Chain A
């Protein structure tokens, strides 16, 4: 499973767009990129998953360049409730490789 590197913390203000970049230089052909969000005292929540180019849902966008060695989670117009830890995960989750590998994540603090 590919190792990921992401900033330990980020600060932002309400209404701004936030981009969190994750590096995964050793990503394998069958690996997908997944982002989770975790609030204090809660389990992680799936945000978005992608393989290449761009994926968008009602919560976020995920940008993946052609070489797939990095990815960027984009949160449009953040609010105070987006303050959380964001985890970038990379892996092929089929079969016996079903376990997710979490790093320490990026602690996003949104200020008024």
Chain B
């Protein structure tokens, strides 16, 4: 039973390019969450999705960032026209329900570096 799979592990983009981060939740998990972590900081919530629905995007920047969780396939976090400030570790988590009993399972993250 594989855990939450994120790829790529490391991603380098030039300023102005697009970054696509993928997250495959654990089998049987229908809730996906994206978090961003800056060096020496805690994780900051970005967006919460269920299959084909965005439930809470209160942590997403208003521009350039979008997320989806299609009926088939992984969840995608997309960052358009990246800037140096987007450099961070992006973590995805999944849960079978909204986390009360089971906790959330996190992936190993994607480290985005914008040069």
Contacts from A to B (Cβ < 8 Å): 32, 34, 36, 41-46, 49, 87, 92-105
Contact = CB atoms under 8 A, between A and B. Distances in A.
Given A32-B100, A94-B100, A99 B33 contact: yes
A94 B95 CA distance: 11
Task: Sort chain B's interface into a size bin.
Answer: 20 to 34
B12 interface: no
Nearest to B109: A43
Interface of B: 4, 31, 33, 35, 40-45, 48, 55-56, 58-59, 89, 91, 93, 95, 98-109, 111
Given A42-B108, A43-B91, A104-B41, A98 B56 contact: yes
Given A99-B56, A102-B44, 5 more contacts: A44-B106, A97-B98, A100-B45, A100-B104, A102-B43
A42 B104 contact: no
